[in-house]
Structure 1
Amino acid sequence: MTDTPDTIYANPVPTLRAFAFDSSVVEVFPDMIKRSVPGYTTIIAMTGMLAGKYTNAGARCYDLGCSLGASSLAMRQNIKADGCKIIGVDNSPEMIERCRSILDTDTNPTPVELLCADVQDITVSDAKVVVLNFTLQFIPVAQRDALIRNIYAGLEPGGVMILSEKVSFADPHLDQLNIELHHQFKQANGYSELEVAQKRSAIEDVLIPETLDQHRQRIAAAGFSSCDVWFQCFNFASLIALK
């Protein structure tokens, strides 16, 4: 099935409103994220492989900020242990509704429970794998520590957290370089300068990136025994943290 093309910002918008995961974004989300996030397909695929490696019989896996369920599907397709369960959480009713219809077409046996809720209101428990793929960046910075502590508390020993984020750089030159490379990446994928500019204006106060060091410090403070980057392309990175 062909993805619906993302043309949300293709024409001038007189009054740009803050970016939100509403029905218009849900409709074009697969196209939007693949054309906007370098390495997205790889990150999703490897998320599934990591879930397959770290789950055992009866394990719980969480997909926090599941959107249309790409990470949940990848985990479902790689989990071979019996009695496992995936819990997908998203605060967008439109995302959850479409996610459910997509998951219904998948025949893998691991059950997926979908919750329409704020990830900050979820109590993680008995988890072997917790995934936040491009979710934490939309949480207010002051509230991020509490979410990571909640995840750590709910992970079983030997469990892992996979955290994928758009990141910033402490060095201003490197930060600007990676922003420009990201914009070139989007233009190479067919977005116009107008689309890039309008999307950036709409999302700049909604998506707040942090440096990799800030992520590492937060993860260490929560109690994780180790953490490092396993994937990075420009200003997009994915970390794995071990309990």
Structure 2
Amino acid sequence: MRFLKAMYSQLASTRLTLVLLIILVVCMLLGTVFPQGGTQEEYLKAFGQVRATWFTRLGLFDVFHSWYFLLVGGIFFLNMVFCSIEGWVSHIRPKPARFKEASTVQWELGGKKSEDMLEALKRKGYRVKEVYAEQGTGSFVAQRGLPSRPVSIIYHFGLALTFVGFVLSALTAFNGEVYIYPGETKKIPRSSPDMTVNRWRSKLGFSPGNVESLSIYLESFDTEYTWYNMKYYPKDWKSAVVLKTNSGLSANKVIE
């Protein structure tokens, strides 16, 4: 039981949130510095046998699918969930008459001392939010800085959007490959029987019907090179494409 409480306390810590965010930023920087999604032959030519082997073992050529990135992302997800639970619990829990946070003060009223404290807090920029009075006694709550409730609502709204994004991706994502050369036009379906939502519909006896497709036209395909070890090596690839829908809408896009 103590172990579970200690684990919950660590996962609900904002310090852990800061550490995980720093690690994720470092991973994203590594994913920017090291080329992602290339072939082993390209890495061998660019970095040599020894360095390419070590970089591959460390997952630097596929950072966003590496075990450590997925592990940190999973812990960060749990951290967000437990921090949200802890925030709501502390919000609805009765607050004792003591210092709860650095920016919030709650103190018992009564006599000259409390009046002096009120004036001192006002001079320091605190806002008196509520005053409770009953039979000559009471308490006040003063706060400075951003109100906690709107910030909490925004945070939880963002968390809810994250969950919605996860669900939509899981239901509608599908994989496919299209080989296209400059000057060619190919049709790309906007749906697939492999989509989770379509598999569920098929089990229930519903037909997906006609599937709308996009027309993709490849205008150009350019390769950027970088100078390394007295040679030029591929650094980036840029594709200029034109997308068209069945209704006639079109859009130009450069994919790197």
TM-score range, shorter-chain basis? Answer: under 0.3
Normalised to the residue count of structure 1, the TM-score between the two structures is: 0.26
Structure of larger gyration radius: 2
More contact order relative to length (CA 8 Å, sep ≥ 6): 1
